[in-house]
Amino acid sequence: MFDKLRVKLFADGADKQSMLEMRRRWKVKGFTTNPTLMRKAGVTDYEAFAHEILAEIRDLPVSFEVFSDEFAEMKRQARKIAAWGENVYVKIPITNTRRESSVALVRELSKEGIRINVTAVLTLAQVEAVAVALAGGAPAVVSVFAGRIADTGRDPVPLMSEALGLLRELPHVELLWASPREVLNVMQAEEVGCHIITATPDILNKLSTLGKALDDFSLETVKMFHDDAAAAGFKL
């Protein structure tokens, strides 16, 4: 069932060995990173890490994010990152920390031919503004954080469906379902028609359960409880 998915799986992470393993085992179609994941993975030299990854991964898209809060510096960083390879997408956050929109910068960079991944998008108004900015530009990705939308108690599926509609006239722009929480989200992204969904190693490792017979899964669960009780030496 996994092999029949139309939605493209991108691995989300910043650990080199894990990234290469996800490529080999799950045949992911691309990679995304961000400063938070890099810090968690212990990366201390941003550029050195990026070049190390790109030396191994030349034929799949890889997204690296700018980290300045000032648009002029974002622009400089974006141009530098884009020059690292033809498979590089530059992640630009939808706003800076002062809630100032980055749409003008996205438009400028896209028109220059830089492949942009607009990140941290959570509203349809943001998608609509980004769609206008990316029209006529370079190939791009719009990363809508569906998982974070769900964290607020809202169903992300209708929003993702509407977002796809807003991008329908832009064949060079792909919609990415970001921050998934469970395998169910992969199927939701598939059914909506999202082009891409990111997945952490934890979620990718659960893909073997996709479509699994529930009776079999029930029995495996019972056996797990039984074996763990025995291993712990529990007595009553």
Q: Please say whether the beta carbons of 122 and 149 come within 8 A.
A: yes
Q: What is the end-to-end Cα distance of the chain in Å, rounded?
A: 43
Residue 153 token pair: 């108690």
Catalytic site positions:
91
| Per-residue confidence (pLDDT) for residue 1, from 0 to 100 | 60
Q: What is the DSSP letter of 153?
A: T
Q: Please say whether the beta carbons of 176 and 195 come within 8 A.
A: yes
Q: pLDDT band at residue 21, thresholds of 50, 70 and 90? A: very high
- Summary count for the chain: helices (H), strands (E): 11, 8
Whole-angstrom distance, CA of residue 233 vs CA of residue 236:
10
Q: How many Cα atoms sit within 13 Å of 119 on the Cβ side?
A: 21
Instruction: Report whether pLDDT(232) > 80.
Output: yes
- Report the pLDDT averaged over residues 125-141: 98
- Dump pLDDT digits (tens) for 59-113: 999 999 999 999 999 999 999 999 999 999 999 999 999 999 999 999 999 999 9
CA nearest neighbour of 90 among 52, 141, 136, 45: 141
- Dump pLDDT digits (tens) for 193-225: 999 999 999 999 899 899 999 999 999 999 999
Structural domains of the chain, with CATH: 2-208 (3.20.20.70)
Whole-angstrom distance, CA of residue 97 vs CA of residue 74:
13
Tokens 């960083």 -> residue: 77
| Per-residue confidence (pLDDT) for residue 208, from 0 to 100 | 87
- Dump pLDDT digits (tens) for 64-75: 999 999 999 999
Least reliable range by pLDDT among 9-13, 136-140, 208-212: 208-212
Instruction: Report whether pLDDT(3) > 90.
Output: no
C-beta contacts of 51-59 below 8 A and 24+ residues apart: 51/84, 52/16, 53/16, 53/19, 54/84, 54/85, 54/87, 54/88, 56/16, 56/20, 57/19, 57/20, 57/23, 57/31, 57/87, 58/85, 58/87, 59/87
CA 166 to chain CA centroid, Å, is 19
- Dump pLDDT digits (tens) for 156-196: 999 999 999 999 999 999 999 999 999 999 999 999 999 99
Residue 213 token pair: 């017979």
Residues in the chain: 236
Phi, psi of 87 (to 5 degrees): -95, 10
| Per-residue confidence (pLDDT) for residue 2, from 0 to 100 | 64
Q: Please say whether the beta carbons of 38 and 1 come within 8 A.
A: no
